[in-house]
Amino acid sequence: MRSSIFTILAIVIISFGCSTTGKIEKQFNKGHYDLVINKLKDKGEHTADENFFIAEAYRKSNRLKQAVPYFKKAVDGHAHHEIAYLHYAQALEANEQYKEAEKVLEEYLSIGEDEHVLKLAQGELNGLLELEELIAKGTYYRVKNLSDINTPGIEYSPIYNNGKIYFTSNRDGGKIYLATGTPFTRIYEVESKGAKVNLSTIEALPPTFNDPNTNEGSIAISKDGTSIIFAKGNPGKANGADDVNLYFTRYRNGKWSEPRILNICDPREWDSSPALSPDGRTLYFSSTRKGGYGGSDIYVAKLNRRGRWVDVRNLGDAINTPGNEMFPYVSDAGKLYFSSDGHAGFGQLDIFEATRAKGITTVKNLGSPINSPSDDFGYHEFNVTKGFFSSNRKGGKGDDDIYTYVNDDPNLKIVNYYLTGVTVTLDDGGNEVVLPNSKVTLVGADEEILDETFTGVDGKFQFKVYPEEDYDLIGEKNSYFTTRQDFTTIGKSVDKSTLTKLVTNITFEAKINLDPIVIDKTIVMENIYYDFNKWNIRSDAALELDKLVTIMMDNPDISIELSSHTDTRAGDDYNLDLSQKRAKSAVDYIISKGVDSERITAKGYGETQLIIKNAKTEEEHQVNRRTEFKVTRYNQEIENDADYDETDRYFDDDDEGESTGK
């Protein structure tokens, strides 16, 4: 199942006709699905809408297989909910009745009217049509139930850290969660050497993490084990659907701090299934917040130099679908794994791997036996060839179980490409020095943000890059020009057939030079040439002016004066007029590229500001014939400490600039 926390992902108010009591409907909207099922089943005969009501309660409490007969009665009885067809088909898929599911979807597509449901149904049908090919594909995976850990209850989302497996379970009973009729879940740990667990060490985490009145969900841990982010779910209140959020705590001075909600959470939305990148500076999570592509989408956030999570970004439609994407995980090799019911799969949640090459992200179903018609999720690597995941497939010991896998692919060779670098500037003596605490962004085609990071005191950054792709690196820091430079991996890929190691890391290097913004300091532009006695923009001049356009676009807080200068080989008035025309022509070109005219002015100085007076050679005259710009206004953005909440810190002052994953 999608974890008991996911059962409250969305609560929908539905009208079921006068035969449904207001009390039962109220319980449904609170998420008390098990209570609703029991009360309605005791009622006897049901209307079509009541059958839909029961089926939805089963579906929302992650018992989709049991919903089949009720969805069938709802559809056959013409319930007033088009979504019943889609959910009926999904329930059939969960029971491996794929052909029957196709028929239901095809029938609905011929009679449906709701555009949103029609789109979802078409996507579901497309996935079913791909299933035959998916089933035919063989894999080298072997899977095994980790029976030493599993119980008749729930065990899911295993992660391995420093000799321990952490997982979520309701194994010890306790207060009953009214959505499922099963106990609330807690987070546990057990000492382990890979898949060999020491059963005598299984224990729940301290009360700091586990509240008897809530569901605790997935957990993410920094590599050193001192920082934890975890999901905390529904306390059973009427508004419980709105308070599934991510909390963080840190181990310091011999104890865990009181968990606090992360600053990036939206209390009105569902935020869950956290995962940290190997360096601890990127947080992946799933959310139903507005602006996504479907039910739940995968997002990322970055850790800034002050220890706060910022720059929340949706991973886009290559990963996210109109369905649900959740349980992200990033391996040490930098590969993204996640679970989805929106991409083509075997039914319910399947586990997928996302890879990128030539600027295109490709999502691949891991196939059988990793995936099944049931929910498969919570993927986590122990090493390159072994790992863990969760599933509620047939043959398990209970509901959700933890499984291990081994990848026996004889041709498995992994090549990781990394780009490392440093941000620098020039000191007053013209010497290159490290520029710390800068933001660096990796940008792909069409200005797609692929990754972001904040450098520490050493100015260093590192990105995972991909084969045969062009990039821009953008460096930013307050009071400095935002600077971009290109980088490419095209022609730099390694032939895997020549490799002998299982994992090969290729590292490229880059350096980003950021110049300080100084008001009225002139900056000479290279190679801005004009034909004799003319001021039109030549193609070679346009290439140089395009660079200034980029500077203006990347630095929206500056305004500039663009100036043109001549040599002395004409009259003063003539040169002044010609330089003004040339400056205006250049400014008009820049404005035509989308720069606000209020941010740039043209000024011709003629021969009034010569660099080489009494120039004699053509080379000296050329130095005087130049185009320059200078910043005339800078709307500097000052960080406001009054808006900063110290409790939002992910690490403390004495850790600033260090990775939380070290």
Backbone angles phi, psi at 192, to 5 degrees: -155, 145
Given a cut of 80, whether residue 637 has pLDDT beyond it is no
- Could you tell me the two tokens for 219? 């957990």
Stretch (H or E) spanning 23: helix 22-29
* The CATH number of domain 6-136 is 1.10.3720.10: no
555: β partners: none
Residue 179 vs residues 52, 53, 236: alpha-carbon distances, Å: 17, 14, 9
Q: d(Cα 225, Cα 256) in Å, to the nearest integer?
A: 11
Q: d(Cα 423, Cα 429) in Å, to the nearest integer?
A: 18
Q: d(Cα 575, Cα 291) in Å, to the nearest integer?
A: 56
Domain residue ranges in the chain:
6-136, 141-407, 414-516, 522-634
Closest C-alpha to 236, from 476, 4, 542 = 4
Q: d(Cα 234, Cα 387) in Å, to the nearest integer?
A: 30
232: β partners: 216, 245
**In this structure, what DSSP letter does residue 348 have?**
S
If you count them, how many residues does the chain have? 662
Given a cut of 80, whether residue 641 has pLDDT beyond it is no
Helix and strand totals (H; E) in the chain: 10, 36
Q: d(Cα 23, Cα 37) in Å, to the nearest integer?
A: 13
Q: d(Cα 42, Cα 35) in Å, to the nearest integer?
A: 11
- Could you tell me the two tokens for 51? 């059958």
Closest C-alpha to 436, from 465, 472, 460 = 460
Q: What was the pLDDT predicted at 658?
A: 29
Displacement of CA 601 from its chain's centroid (Å):
41
Topology match between the domains 141-407 and 414-516:
no
- 388 near 148, Cβ under 8 Å? no
Superfamily of domain 141-407: TolB, C-terminal domain (2.120.10.30)
Q: What was the pLDDT predicted at 5?
A: 35
Percent of residues, the chain, with pLDDT higher than 90: 56
Model confidence band, residue 343 (pLDDT cutoffs 50, 70, 90): very high
Residue 618 vs residues 569, 614, 615, 622: alpha-carbon distances, Å: 11, 12, 8, 6
Average pLDDT value for the chain = 86
Q: What is the three-class DSSP state of 656?
A: coil
Given a cut of 90, whether residue 367 has pLDDT beyond it is yes
Q: d(Cα 96, Cα 386) in Å, to the nearest integer?
A: 28
Q: What is the value of pTM for the model shown? A: 0.82
CATH topology for 522-634 is 60s Ribosomal Protein L30; Chain: A; (3.30.1330)
**Max CA pair span of the chain:** 106
Q: d(Cα 114, Cα 83) in Å, to the nearest integer?
A: 9
* The CATH number of domain 414-516 is 2.60.40.10: yes
Q: Cis ω on the peptide bond leading into residue 369 (within 30° of 0)? A: yes
Pick from 119-128, 246-255, 294-303, 653-662: least confident:
653-662
Q: What is the three-class DSSP state of 63?
A: coil
Dump the DSSP string for 307-345: S-EEEEEE--TTT--SSBEEEEEE-TT--EEEEESSSS-
Model confidence band, residue 619 (pLDDT cutoffs 50, 70, 90): confident
Given a cut of 70, whether residue 238 has pLDDT beyond it is no
Q: What was the pLDDT predicted at 662?
A: 23
Residue 533 burial by CB count (10 A; 0-12/13-18/19+): exposed, middle or buried? Answer: exposed
- 347 near 309, Cβ under 8 Å? no
Pick from 378-387, 595-604, 613-622: least confident:
613-622
How would you classify the pairing of strands 196-197 and 186-193?
antiparallel
Count of CB atoms situated within 10 Å of the CB of 122: 15
Beta strands in 1-136 (DSSP E): none
Given a cut of 90, whether residue 315 has pLDDT beyond it is yes
Given a cut of 90, whether residue 631 has pLDDT beyond it is yes
Q: d(Cα 123, Cα 99) in Å, to the nearest integer?
A: 16
